[in-house]
Structure 1
Amino acid sequence: MTGSPLAVSRQAGRLGQVNDAELTAGDQVRLRPLRARIVCAVAAGALFLVFVFVATALRGQVNEGPATFGRGDQIAMVVLGALGAAGILALTRPRVVADATGITVRNLVGGYQLPWSVVRSVRFPHGAPWASLELNDDDIVPMMAVQATDKDYAVAGVRALRALHATAGRS
């Protein structure tokens, strides 16, 4: 049961796949994209290092032309690298937090805090890039934190969310 990285926490927390019978009122499911976070962290680090390298390499005149690079230009390059890395890391913003009372979805832009009573179903259609919530008014709320590229983690996350939804529907 501990093979899945899905975090379902009480006070101290526990790991494992969750089924409907295991969930209690104090359980909370927290989901974040796994592979996207790794890719973004590596890309942000690489981008920052490239900008630092360029900043240290550009000193003095270039090709004996009128352009010269001073200390201010080097600092600007490092700052640009930091801003670019921060922009890449912003892609790791999506997360889902759910408990017996409702679900909070935070995507790249915007977020939703919904009680389970307005959620009709937790969906993850074949071929979709991420899971979504179907609401009672036929709206669809994407959950970018549960991505298809995370495979088993995403499936376990959807199962845990469905179990919470079913548990909330009985109370």
Structure 2
Amino acid sequence: MTASTGTDNVVLARPVRVRKVAIPAASVVFVVCGIAALMLRRTANGVLLTVSDQVAMAGIGAILAGLILLTLRPRLRADEHGVEVRNAILTRYYPWSEVRGVSFPEGASCARLELPDDEYEPITAIQAFDGERAVLAMRELRKLRREIGQLE
């Protein structure tokens, strides 16, 4: 996870340690499905498998690897205007006026934005798995929120 603030008061956070797991895992899944696809035609039990079955197996491997790689997509970008939270699939933007708080509940796997009406948005870019980097990102995000609160 990288957390940084520049002269323009921007906080950026991305998970780092998940890369060490997701990239090798996606590679293994893709290679195993590729090898299985190549070996599909060689069955001793009399099952008739065609080239389309091999292509389907390779396609399944590509889809599964892609799903694993979605864990690399999360990002947090916060500035004086609001917070952009990009999780595995969706990207959402929240102006600071909608953000009631920033928390990292005890035992949770990731941080979250507290929103009106007891709703929240998970911030998967700040994960407990990243340890001290997550702490730094939360400090920077809370610091920016305090500074924005003083400007309003």
TM class by shorter chain equals 0.7 to 0.9
Question: Which among 55, 58, 62 is matched to residue 82 of structure 1?
Answer: 62
Q: Please state if 1:8 is matched with 2:4.
A: yes
Q: Please state if 1:140 is matched with 2:120.
A: yes
Match of 2:44, SS state, is coil
Match of 2:18, SS state, is helix
Return closer, same or farther for 1:139/1:69 CA change in 2, 3 Å cut-off.
closer
Task: Trace 1:24-103 onto structure 2 (pairs within 5 A).
Answer: 24=7, 26-60=8-42, 62-65=43-46, 67-103=47-83
> How many aligned positions are there?
151
User: 1:105 touches 1:112 (CA, 8 Å); kept in 2?
Assistant: yes
Cα separation, 1, equivalents of 2:2 and 2:71: 20
Cα separation, 2, equivalents of 1:81 and 1:53: 10
Cα separation, 2, equivalents of 1:94 and 1:120: 21
> What's the CA shift for 1:136?
4.9
For residues 71-102 of structure 1, the C-alpha deviation after alignment (integer angstroms, 9 at most, x for no partner) is 33222221111111112112333221111211
For residues 47-85 of structure 1, the C-alpha deviation after alignment (integer angstroms, 9 at most, x for no partner) is 00001111122234x2151x2333332222211111111
User: 1:117 touches 1:169 (CA, 8 Å); kept in 2?
Assistant: no
Match of 1:96, SS state, is strand
TM-score by length of 1: 0.77
Gaps of 5+ in 2: none
Gaps of 5+ in 1: 11-23
> What's the CA shift for 1:113?
0.9
User: 2:105 touches 2:111 (CA, 8 Å); kept in 1?
Assistant: yes
Q: Please state if 1:167 is matched with 2:144.
A: no
Q: Structure 1 stretch 142-151 or stretch 125-134: which is displaced more?
A: 125-134
User: 1:120 touches 1:135 (CA, 8 Å); kept in 2?
Assistant: yes
Name the structure with the higher strand share. Answer: 1
Q: Give the 4+ runs in structure 1 shifted more than 6 A.
A: none
User: 1:146 touches 1:154 (CA, 8 Å); kept in 2?
Assistant: yes
Cα RMSD after superposing both structures = 2.1
> What's the CA shift for 1:35?
2.4
